[in-house]
Amino acid sequence: MSIIAVGISVLMACTPKIAKQDKVEAVKNESEMDKFISELMSKMTLEEKIGQLNLLTGGDAVTGTTVNSNIEQKIKNGQVGGFFSLTTPAKIRKTQEIAVNETRLKIPLIFGLDVIHGYKTTFPIPLGLSCSWDMDLIYKTARMAAQEATADGLNWTFSPMVDVSRDPRWGRVSEGNGEDPFLGAEIAKAMVKGYQGDDLSKANTIMACVKHFALYGAGEAGRDYNTVDMSRNRMFNEYMLPYKAAVDAGVGSVMTSFNEIDGIPATANKWLVTDVLREQWGFKGFVVTDYTGINEMVDHGFGNLQQVSAKALNAGVDMDMVGEGFLTTLKSSYEQGKVSMGEINRACRLVLEAKYKLGLFEDPFKYCNEERARTEIYTRENLQFAREVATKSFVLLKNENVLPLKKQGTIALIGPLANTKENMPGTWSVSTDLSKAISVKEGLENTLGSKVKVNYAMGTNLLDDPEYQKRATMFGRDIPRDNRSKEIMLKEALSVARKSDVIVAAMGESSEMSGESSSRSDIRIPQNQQELLSELLKLGKPVVLVLFTGRPLDLSWEDKNVPAILNVWFGGSETGNAIADVLFGDVNPSGKLSMTFPQNVGQVPLYYNHKNTGRPLEGAWFQKFRSNYLDVSNDPLYPFGYGLSYSKFEISQPVLNNSVLRSGGKITVEANVKNAGIYDGEEVVQFYIRDMVGSVTRPVKELKGFKKIFLKAGEAKNVSFDITEETIKFYDSDLKFVAEPGDFKVFVGNSSSNVKEANFKFE
């Protein structure tokens, strides 16, 4: 039975209830909050108000180059609003005691951390998790992460990261949900609801912070922190939906991005933070900068620290992360008339409101429960769930009758990623115990026991260049180098492979080859690993490439030469066990790509929902004076939505119950899905639409719905999707959200390229 089907009582304690909201009670509670905070602020000095806007780092998990000093005295002086990177009930209680016992107004602190894909129990990296296309599963990962994080003293997470990105060179694609705004929006809602539950004042819910607002994933050249420049029409139609979905889901806080928008850094962009976020979208929470985001505007050429701090506050930013620009300059800016008391009061009130909603004024120590820390973190039940989640994130990219493997004979396990616990959780797993992660070698041994002998050899180092390897294995993710010659290592690997029936090659990126500040200009598997793989293939034995990566890679050579490729991303705490589950058929893989894999880096950016040109390629590549390349086709290696199964699924032509959609009406699209294989399995049925003619040019295809269904071998089900006026709306040239009359196509299939179509009109 699925672990999800059994009683996860602790995990589900805060599942949102679908019930009629008591509006009277809500108004009463808000009135009480307003009264409480107004009375508190009437007692606060200017310095104390500014202090609430100051977020410092406790230093437990450094995620930047700056660390704050003289912390205890600053708390006593009322100069601190909150901390991040400080964990455990004991440390947090000690720090909170200073705030509530040794300051004039006894205002509690808020404590946050980058809880990105799990806390101690770690789930797959977000890009991998998004490939599950399973919103209930994703919701539960956030719920469990909140359960564990709050048990360790935290009440705020800097997640979800929902930046749309089409450039795999950017390392932080590993932390996001891929290239599609619709899928990203669905995940944003699930994550926010999972973290925040139905009541932020409960001790096992955590305030979410959607990031990075906005457009961080569109940096030029795929280089982290780089410039972004695009039209507002493209911004709203292709990038903004996931942020808005998080706001609509009630996210408590928003983090600004490092990049500029329309020439103005996001952290000082009033149009973005006030006009769009607050006024258009109705966001009621508080806005925090990214790590030293205010200070970094000096290097943008936007002014000195006092000037950029004032600009950030006036733009609508409420809290300054680490840089202390607010703390050190706002008083002077107020005295000089550069900022108003109204702006300071707004920011202070919003920070205090967050603390009130978390219940910190009622009980500042509600998250400091040593018993919860002992009993609710890294439990057997949590690990079992993490194992299941990992299996659902893996994407089978190729399989020429090699998988699933049989539990018999001997297996050669070869590669630099085969026996490293530390790299299994993936980047941004800042709180996990790396020593407890399950390596591929351990996972195979745990699953196979004495049934199958596993012969192991490293075969090659992660990278030939030792300095590059140092950069690629930071933060405790080291893979010890074998200083023997390449020839000796290869000879050993080939010897191990020759006496084995099947070769499992664990290769690709280390976990820190993706993530923040881990952009790559070459997105292939390192050459030395590819050379080893080539030699293994020459033996003529079945070879399975177990691919580790935090981004889409150029796998053109591997796809051509390797008979089976299973992309496991970085699967979290239980990676090794989950890999064994899938390799040996205990779990049928069901993951689908949330980001396109290019044929080579020269195609980047490459994404399914592109616009047509005035000279689109029609028919086979190559055609002169058409939009194509001389040396490679326009096609991706693996398209968005792609992923194989051990089963074969057949999806029928979609049937519409009406060919005309009218305002206020609905069309139902239905297709039959059959499992024509011999294995039970899950399929993701995907629904796309194309607007054939618009007042602005429209994409060739847009995801508008999906359903993940389970079918036994031979079973068939009908799957339906509804089309309403809302489904076909987009932002026009005036940024009005409109539905325009005209012709449309619908597509139903199991990837963005493998679809069948039908037509309708909107009148």
Mean pLDDT in residue range 361-373? 97
pLDDT value of position 621: 87
Count Cβ atoms below 10 Å from residue 111 Cβ, excluding itself. Answer: 28
Amino acid symbol at 111:
F
- 106: Cβ contacts below 8 Å, ≥ 6 apart: 99, 100
pLDDT value of position 70: 83
Mean pLDDT in residue range 734-741? 98
Query: Given a cut of 50, is residue 85 above it in pLDDT?
Result: yes
Mean pLDDT in residue range 555-560? 98
| CB-side neighbour CA atoms (13 Å) of 168 | 26
| CB-side neighbour CA atoms (13 Å) of 578 | 31
pLDDT band at residue 620 using 50, 70 and 90 as cut-offs = confident
pLDDT value of position 23: 63
Q: Are strands 564-567 and 395-399 parallel, antiparallel or unpaired?
A: antiparallel
The one catalytic residue in 152, 163, 290, 318 is 290
pLDDT band at residue 345 using 50, 70 and 90 as cut-offs = very high
290 a catalytic residue: yes
Query: Given a cut of 50, is residue 288 above it in pLDDT?
Result: yes
Q: Indicate the Cα dihedral angle 476, 477, 483, 484, nearest 10°.
A: 150
Average pLDDT, the chain: 95
Give burial (CB, 10 Å; 0-12/13-18/19+) of 426. buried
pLDDT value of position 10: 37
Question: CA nearest 688: which of 641, 648, 637, 731?
Answer: 641
pLDDT tens figures, 489-503:
999 999 999 999 999
Mean pLDDT in residue range 474-496? 96
The span from the CA of 740 to the CA of 737, in Å, is 10
Mean pLDDT in residue range 48-55? 98
Residue bearing tokens 């030699």: 535
pLDDT value of position 68: 64
Mean pLDDT in residue range 673-689? 98
Instruction: State pTM to two decimals.
Output: 0.95
pLDDT band at residue 462 using 50, 70 and 90 as cut-offs = very high
Question: CA nearest 246: which of 316, 319, 164?
Answer: 164
Query: Given a cut of 90, is residue 736 above it in pLDDT?
Result: yes
pLDDT value of position 3: 36
The span from the CA of 184 to the CA of 391, in Å, is 21
Whether the Cβ atoms of residue 329 and residue 305 lie closer than 8 Å to each other: yes
CA angle, corner 692, sides to 697 and 719, nearest 5? 120
pLDDT tens figures, 4-51:
333 333 344 444 444 455 566 667 788 999 999 999 999 999 999 999
pLDDT tens figures, 521-536:
999 999 999 999 999 9
**Peptide bond between residue 610 and the one before it cis (omega within 30 degrees of 0):** no
Query: Given a cut of 90, is residue 331 above it in pLDDT?
Result: yes
pLDDT tens figures, 119-167:
999 999 999 999 999 999 999 999 999 999 999 999 999 999 999 999 9
Tokens of 134: 């399973």
The span from the CA of 325 to the CA of 305, in Å, is 6
Whether the Cβ atoms of residue 246 and residue 192 lie closer than 8 Å to each other: yes
